[in-house]
Amino acid sequence: MKPSRTLSVLLAAAWLLAMPALAAAQETPPEVDELTGLKIAPGWELVRNNCVTCHSARQFLQQKGTRETWRSVIKWMQDRGGLWPLPAETEAAILDYLEAHHGPGREYRRAPIPANLMPPNPYASAARREYEEKLRQGAGPKPPP
C-alpha cells in the first residue's frame, strides 16, 4: 500500500472510532431523580424544595416556557397557590433551572398563539366550547399566565 493510502485508511478508521464516542458525550441526558422525576442539574434541589412540596413535579415536568413565562408561574403560585416569598437568588436559580430544562425548545418556528386569539376548536367538547365562549366574553376564571 502507498503511504498516502495507508494514512487515509488510518484516518478513516480513527474517524469511525471517535465519532460515536463524541456523539455519546454530547447527547448524554442528565440523570433523573427517581422520586421527583426532576433532571439532576444545577439548581434542581431548590426546585425540589420549593416546587415539589404542594404538588408533584408532574405539574410542570411536561411544561415548557420562557424565563418570563416561568417567572409569571412563580408569581401565580405566590398569588394563588400559597407559595412563600423566595429570596431573589433562589428565584433566579429556580428560573435558571426551569429555563434550561423546561425552556420553549426548538420545535416552534414562532411563539405559540395565545389561546384567546385562536379560532374556535371544531373538535372541542360542548363544555369546552362553552368555557372558551365565556373566556372570550371576559367571564370565568382568568387562565393561568
Q: Which residues bind ligand HEC (CB under 6 A)?
A: 50-51, 53-55, 59-60, 63, 73-74, 77, 80-83, 94
Q: How far is the CB of 139 from ligand HEC (least distance, A)?
A: 17
Q: Which is nearer to ligand HEC, 39 or 77 (CB)?
A: 77
Q: Find the angle CA(39)-CA(43)-CA(45) to the nearest 5 degrees.
A: 75
Q: Which is nearer to ligand HEC, 16 or 88 (CB)?
A: 88
Smallest distance from the beta carbon of 101 to ligand HEC, in angstroms? Answer: 12
Nearer to ligand HEC, 82 or 122 (CB): 82
Q: Looking at beta carbons only, is 36 or 59 nearer to ligand HEC?
A: 59
Measured between alpha carbons, how far is 136 from 68 in angstroms, rounded to an integer? 24
Residue 130 beta carbon to ligand HEC: minimum distance, rounded to whole angstroms: 19
The least distance separating ligand HEC from the CB of residue 17, rounded to whole angstroms, comes to 43
Which of residues 14 and 143 has its CB atom nearest to ligand HEC in the complex? 143
What's the closest the beta carbon of residue 26 comes to ligand HEC, in angstroms? 28
- Amino acid identity of residue 91, one-letter, is E
